[in-house]
Structure 1
């Protein structure tokens, strides 16, 4: 029996080390990807309107919170907490932060889908329906409503019990003891956001497909153009449901059945939504040609600013370097921002 206990403890320690390594690597990848995005969209990008940039900045901030807030807090608890101890105030705070960031990310994704739906189907009324004030209010709702809804999780002596899971290394609410509240969270967060995203993106995809078929009838050369709608909308929705559905399904299963899933399944489904924070960088930004062009210009500017000798090597001396850098910025920022309606319509309907 002592040997079996020693082997079990060694196996548990090995699993814990592997899980911490996976979380650390995933957090670093998410943080680096979103920092690069912030460097680019903090200034104007050709073809992106002000409202679109606001929504995308909100999404990037929410995704960055996975790597800068959620993962460090849970790793800190997993390293400091004695597993024999019960729930404490720190675990409640961490669980509240986890749920808030997850919910904010879903609301932000739904807001982006709604903005693009309005831009495509109501281009003439876009500036009236989605003013700057309404855009900021919608973003504020995405960030303020989840903390308000999830506030009971943060109270140590509240109605929601919180425990630290050794399987997923996360402070989780005990949904099995609060079935009604668990189901209400999915009804107010996951299902509404999923419905908005699915409806909006499906309508836009169908409109783009119909327009593409019309273009083929009038010009056979159009058929050789890439299907922009399928390349963007389909991966976005596939990544969303792949990352979020297993987590919600396991949460509902635990609440209804009162039992837990196997260790590694729980670990995967709990941390799978954070992968969406990195996939969003790819689907919303890196496959966009304007974003890649602006990213190269930003990197050139940073390289020239950090290494003046590089400018001399490339043949830019004295004020030439300054002119070169300012020329890069003026060339990009001098472009008048088109409205989101025109940008989205040209991209998704004309496929130009």
Structure 2
């Protein structure tokens, strides 16, 4: 299946293409282990998130839950679709073969999931921007129909835009990379298409996210300075804006920018980046699927409270004896009452747009971004 070379992984003079390919194959077990561990983290984290936001969470409106469910589904696709497909191809495909139909389908799935995640992050930033700066018009601006249309756009526009990748005999050439263990379009031979995708996906989403979150951060800092002035200069509460908005944008650009930069470099220069650099920049965006669980959910106090409640219910339902031994479910009646009170938040959902503004400008609690 693989070329037979009189070389070993420890050889120092590996300059020929065949020897370089052998070296990449020697590194494959380490890469598979890294990808598998990352996939498990993403899947477990997003399943926990899904269990919580599938039910009502105090302070989260119906629209917010729809957008966050969309984000969770897109992030889960990294661990449930992208990683298994590429690992399967890396184990089954003969690296001497040229492009095939399977690799085109896998590359199409990869690009679609990546693009859907970016569009979903952008729509979340847009929804929060409208909720905070236009609270009185939020209900008319973000109706249920418009919310679902935005989510549908995030999921349907990328496959339409990336459809040429799926055709084996089409204009887009696709290869399996032994360096990154991914089926990817050959950006060096499809420079125009690669630059077009970057301009239609990464840059618009990044500009929208940066503008919306920067406006929120500036407004929060300005209001916080006013509160500190009236409070005698004391800083009694943590800076929620910096604790949430800054990590969200930092994680986004850290995970996505190297991949986009490598894509543009390959398209313009016609040459590829070094092996491990390619591996890191290709798989780094998937780690954003795990970081989103932290910055969008676990920082939120209402989410953590609801997760503990659901975990206690599961413990009591599945392993009552072990739950009582561990002391995590000592009062079933109290849990039942808490569940009723926690789910009875229709008034909070109807007033979520106003509460979002109060949350940001008073900085009295978690910022639901």
**Aligned equivalents of 2:155, 2:9: Cα separation in 1:** 47
Q: Deviations over 1:309-332 (max 9, x none)?
A: 357766999xx84x4443231021
| Secondary structure in 1 matching 2:235 | helix
Q: 1:228 matched to which residue of 2? A: 240
| Secondary structure in 1 matching 2:188 | helix
1:55 has 2:101 as partner = no
Which piece of structure 1 moves more, 336-345 or 226-235?
336-345
Alignment of 1:199-348 (within 5 A): 199-220=211-232, 223-309=235-321, 321=332, 323-335=333-345, 336-338=347-349, 339-348=351-360
Q: 1:171 aligns with which of 159, 169, 183?
A: 183
Alignment of 1:132-211 (within 5 A): 132-211=144-223
Q: Deviations over 1:70-90 (max 9, x none)?
A: 000000000000111111100
| Secondary structure in 2 matching 1:260 | coil
| Secondary structure in 2 matching 1:293 | helix
Native 8 Å contact 1:50 1:337 kept in 2: no
Native 8 Å contact 1:228 1:347 kept in 2: no
**Aligned equivalents of 1:19, 1:90: Cα separation in 2:** 21
Q: CA 1:346 to 1:166, structure 2 compared with 1: closer, same or farther past 3 Å?
A: same
**Aligned equivalents of 1:35, 1:110: Cα separation in 2:** 22
Q: 1:98 matched to which residue of 2? A: 110
Q: Deviations over 1:12-47 (max 9, x none)?
A: 443110000000000000000000000010000011
**Aligned equivalents of 1:209, 1:60: Cα separation in 2:** 29
Q: Compute the displacement of 1:224 (Å).
A: 1.9
| Secondary structure in 1 matching 2:248 | helix
Cα RMSD over matched residues?
A: 2.0
Q: CA 1:254 to 1:213, structure 2 compared with 1: closer, same or farther past 3 Å?
A: same
TM-score (norm 1): 0.95
- Which structure has more helix as a fraction of its residues? 1
Which piece of structure 1 moves more, 178-187 or 164-173?
178-187
Displaced runs of 4 or more, over 6 A: 311-317
Native 8 Å contact 1:113 1:197 kept in 2: yes
Q: Deviations over 1:192-227 (max 9, x none)?
A: 000000000000100001100110111137622111
Q: 1:116 aligns with which of 128, 133, 141?
A: 128
TM-score (norm 2): 0.90
Native 8 Å contact 2:195 2:264 kept in 1: yes
Q: Deviations over 1:48-80 (max 9, x none)?
A: 111111100000000000000000000000000
**Aligned equivalents of 1:176, 1:186: Cα separation in 2:** 14
**Aligned equivalents of 2:214, 2:154: Cα separation in 1:** 22
Q: Which runs of 5+ in 1 are unaligned?
A: none
Aligned residues: 349
**Aligned equivalents of 1:307, 1:30: Cα separation in 2:** 26
Q: CA 1:298 to 1:212, structure 2 compared with 1: closer, same or farther past 3 Å?
A: same
Q: Which runs of 5+ in 2 are unaligned?
A: 12-18, 365-369
1:14 has 2:26 as partner = yes
**Aligned equivalents of 2:268, 2:36: Cα separation in 1:** 32
| Secondary structure in 2 matching 1:167 | coil
| Secondary structure in 1 matching 2:348 | coil
**Aligned equivalents of 2:241, 2:93: Cα separation in 1:** 47
